[in-house]
Chain A
Amino acid sequence: MPTFESIQRPERWAVPFSTEMTDADVDRLLTIEPFASLDATRFRGKVTLPGILKNDTRLVRCQPGDIVVRQGDWGNSAFLVVAGNVRVELGSAASLPSEILGRQPVHRKSLFESIAQLWRNSSDPEVREIAAYRGDPRIGTRGTGEQTRIYLQDVSTVLDKYQTATIEAGQFFGESAALGRTPRSATVFAERSTELLEIRWQGLRDLMRRDDALQQHIDAVFRERALKLFLMNTPIFQHLGTTEITELTEGAKFETHGQYDWAGSFKRLAKKGIDTDLQHEPLIAEEGNHTNGVIIVRSGLARLSRRHEHGHQTTGYLTPGQIFGLDEIIDGWLGKTPKPLTHSLRAIGIANVVTIPTHLIERLLLETTGRRSLARNKAKTTDPLANQPKIDATRINSDFVEFLVENRYINGTATMLIDMDRCTRCDDCVRACASTHDNNPRFLRQGPIQNNIMVANACLHCEDPVCMIECPTGAIHRQMEGGQVVINDETCIGCSACANNCLYNAIRMVDVRHEDGDFIRDDRKHAPIAKATKCDLCSDQLGGPACQRACPHDALIRMDMRAVQQLTDWYTR
């Protein structure tokens, strides 16, 4: 049973999900299932059912082939099929190729193409081949502005070739990703003319609270589809068999702490000055209390802290897949008396956590491992990303850790760090970036500095990429291979949604040019065509990120902030 942080007043309604929802739409929705049979008495106070439908939902009309969500997309909403039906790709045999979904195919330059950059690179910035925009015949787009959709041109061939399942009117989809803040697990497209109701996360949560059937349904689907897979992939459970995993799945508790729109509020907060008082961060588990299980972060980020004088000192952070409270459970089990938690755990922004009750850990993990080997090696894993959230305080100064956490830099899987004690300000990094990216560097060698380490203004390739949430065409996406967040220039419509959502101002809108240096303009309004640009970690270049490779003095590094050990080694080298 997911529990979510309660809110007093639906402030979110100040900005409705869509301004186009009319009272007539709401009245019509109230006559269909599941809304028709919801118990109206359970909606008391400000959060009324018509209020939710008016402010937290929008109607989406799809034509045959329209892609609703793509596997790997980041989204904060779930969908209810109102009329018509959609197909979900099962992906068991073959997956829809990324090109027809409007994504950039992963293409690494050949040696010849690398060398050809010598004469092919234009001397003007942001030059594009206009033919590329005229289109890949396999990609169809329709609609304008934020309503732009990519559609599959030949639905019947797709249905023949790929394995899909039907989602009929009255059924939900997309709720697991929306509630768990994880990537969409499958691609969904409309099979025929279909009307969908898109419900944003907060609305879905409020509906679930007031409808037991909906709650149970979503809970069961989540456990079966997402939780099981997650536990199977968690290092400490990897050796367990199917029955044990099922047992864990059934016994697990999952919770969301913090705010879904943490990014928006963080941006507002950052303008006012960041709040350094940890009291305001949602507490997941408190130092000194006894633990009732091992906590595993499923998505989002969490802060480890200890009381220090009258405040709290940050001692580390947890990223998805990392665990909290295991040491105390092991110590308690070895010593036969429960041990209190040595640290507190708080959600940074938002954190989705799974708690596995102590008795299951003891029975399935500790008893099978045995006392002696546990005492010797307290279930430590060797995976550097898996289980080392604590930072060695003797090697990294706590100010630096606080700085990284407060500014959410730990969200980065490729945060650009520059050691200013070694950087000679030669700008080789900037030049290398420009020469690998349309003659326009994709980052600024500027940014806050703490303990002589600069966090430069470059895309961090976030663990929780809020930039991806509102992209209408899925042009900004995470590459399946490598995990870089990249933008498909051909399907980017220049709406700036990603740039506005990025916490770190790392996405810039640029007007693109012809080879002759003039701006490319749109056929009708003659306005320059804008595209979103950002660091793509040189995913198409041989040899990896040009910025890091170009630094003569080993000053610049793209750091995966989940690898605390690597960060520590680099910091103290």
Chain B
Amino acid sequence: MKTLTARRFRNSGIAIVAALLLVWLSGAMTTALRDTARQTGWILFSMICFLAAYNLRKKLPFLPLGASATWLQFHIYVGLLTAVVFGVHVGWRIPNGLVESLLATLYLFVFASGVIGLFLSRSLAKRLTTRGDEVLFERIPVYRNRLQAEVETIVFEELDEAASTAVAQFYADRLRPFFAQTRNFWQHLVQSNRSRFGLLNEMQAYRRYLNDAERETMARLVTCVEAKDDLDYQFSLQATLKYWLFVHVPLTYALLVFAILHLLLVSAYSGGIS
């Protein structure tokens, strides 16, 4: 495939054709008064096992199991296709029994988290390159502490030299909490700059109470605030990119457990898994 767009078109095309075929086939079989639940159930279960196996592939990078990117392509389109198989399997209705409704809910959560995760992977990755320096996620607390120490040094130096405590006061009221921990997680995620501009505006407005030397100090603090805000932005996006999988993967395991339970129950009632 020369371009990623071409690949997307090709794979979506194949998935759509497969979905249409499935719907048509099950329709035809139902018209012929045959119960398709068993077949679609097995298909769905195999698809889910294949999707869950991606976790194994990731854990065994030293085995010649094919590129993870190829796995993900199959994962995405097979994953999307499960929605159609699931719909056909449950007859496009919300199931009633306890195990069945739990199973359906789990499936819907895994599916939804997958779709959302894919959206996040594609959109947040791009946004990360637009702001702040590229930082390793694990190093963010170190950089944050470093910035905080730098800001404190600036403020204390100022306190030693200046007669007034204006800058120190502003720091204690407004900046210390800002530098103490990651801030504005959700705002960064939705690309809102409200808090950043709010704080910067406050700093601008506060200049009227400062002398020249203090204004210079404030200008240095502005640079630190911007750097910290960029770091928060990186944290917020990188954390989201990492943590959505903490929903997708554990729910996958729960889904597998319930699917097996469902299989056992169904076979017990219908006289064996055939």
Q: A-side interface residues toward B, CB under 8 Å?
A: 111, 114-115, 117-118, 420-426, 428, 431-432, 435-436, 445-446, 449, 452, 454, 541-543, 546, 548-555, 569, 572-573
Contact = CB atoms under 8 A, between A and B. Distances in A.
Contact of A549 (B3, B4, B68, B122): B68
Interface in B34-87: 58, 60-69, 71-72
A552 B72 contact: yes
Nearest to A572: B3
Given A554-B69, A573-B4, A435 B125 contact: no
Nearest to B240: A424
Nearest to A434: B61
B160 interface: no
Contact of B136 (A420, A421, A446): A446
Interface stretch (B126-134, B171-179, B195-203, B246-254): B126-134
Given A435-B61, A435-B62, A553-B72, A425 B67 contact: no
Given A421-B125, A426-B242, A541-B62, 17 more contacts: A420-B128, A421-B129, A424-B125, A425-B125, A425-B128, A428-B61, A432-B62, A435-B61, A436-B61, A542-B64, A543-B64, A548-B67, A550-B58, A550-B61, A552-B72, A553-B72, A553-B121
20 contacts: A114-B62, A114-B64, A118-B60, A420-B134, A424-B124, A424-B125, A424-B241, A425-B137, A426-B241, A432-B61, A449-B129, A452-B129, A454-B134, A543-B63, A543-B65, A550-B68, A551-B69, A552-B68, A552-B71, A554-B69
B2 interface: yes
Q: Which size class do B's interface residues fall under?
A: 20 to 34
Nearest to B120: A424
B11 interface: no
Given A421-B126, A449-B129, A554 B4 contact: yes
B217 interface: no
Given A436-B61, A541-B62, A551 B125 contact: no
Nearest to A116: B62
Contacts of A543: 63-66
A414 B194 CA distance: 44
Interface string B188-230: 0000000000000000000000000000000000000000000
B182 interface: no
Interface string B107-148: 000000000000001101110110000101100000000000
A102 B128 CA distance: 46
Interface of B: 2-4, 58, 60-69, 71-72, 121-122, 124-126, 128-129, 134, 136-137, 238, 241-242
Interface centre among B4, B66, B67 (most CB of A within 10 A): B67
A111 B3 CA distance: 33
A573 B124 CA distance: 19
Contacts of B62: 114, 117, 432, 435-436, 541, 546
A183 B65 CA distance: 36
A121 B197 CA distance: 51
Contacts of B241: 424-426
A117 B126 CA distance: 35
Contacts of A114: 62-64
A37 B113 CA distance: 84
Nearest to B125: A424
B63 to A, nearest CB: 5
B134 A446 contact: yes
B134 to A, nearest CB: 6
B140 to A, nearest CB: 11
A431 B4 contact: no
A422 B121 CA distance: 8
Contacts of B65: 543
Contacts of A554: 4, 69
A424 B244 CA distance: 12
Contacts of B134: 420, 446, 449, 454
A420 B125 contact: yes
Nearest to A449: B134
Contacts of A435: 61-62
Contact of B121 (A424, A436, A542, A550): A424
A422 to B, nearest CB: 6
B64 A420 contact: no
A552 B242 CA distance: 13
A420 B129 contact: yes
A332 to B, nearest CB: 36
B191 to A, nearest CB: 16
Contact of B61 (A111, A425, A431, A452): A431
A545 to B, nearest CB: 10
A325 to B, nearest CB: 31
A428 B63 CA distance: 14
Q: Which among B63, B65, B137, B241 has the greatest number of chain A C-beta atoms within 10 A?
A: B63
A425 B238 contact: yes
A50 B34 CA distance: 100
Given A425-B128, A573-B2, A445 B136 contact: yes
Contacts of B136: 425, 445-446
Closest 3 CB pairs of A and B: A432-B61, A543-B64, A542-B64
A555 B141 CA distance: 26
Nearest to B3: A573
Most A CB contacts (10 A, CB to CB) among B60, B121, B129 go to B129
A549 B70 CA distance: 9
A123 B94 CA distance: 47
A111 B71 CA distance: 20
A422 B61 contact: no
A118 B63 CA distance: 9
Q: Which of A445, A543, A546, A555 has the most CB of B within 10 A?
A: A543
A119 to B, nearest CB: 12
Contact of A546 (B61, B129, B242): B61
B240 to A, nearest CB: 10
A301 to B, nearest CB: 27
A572 B128 CA distance: 20
A115 B63 contact: yes
B127 to A, nearest CB: 9
A37 B63 CA distance: 64
A551 to B, nearest CB: 6
A553 B69 contact: yes
Nearest to A547: B61
A449 B129 CA distance: 9
Contacts of A421: 125-126, 129
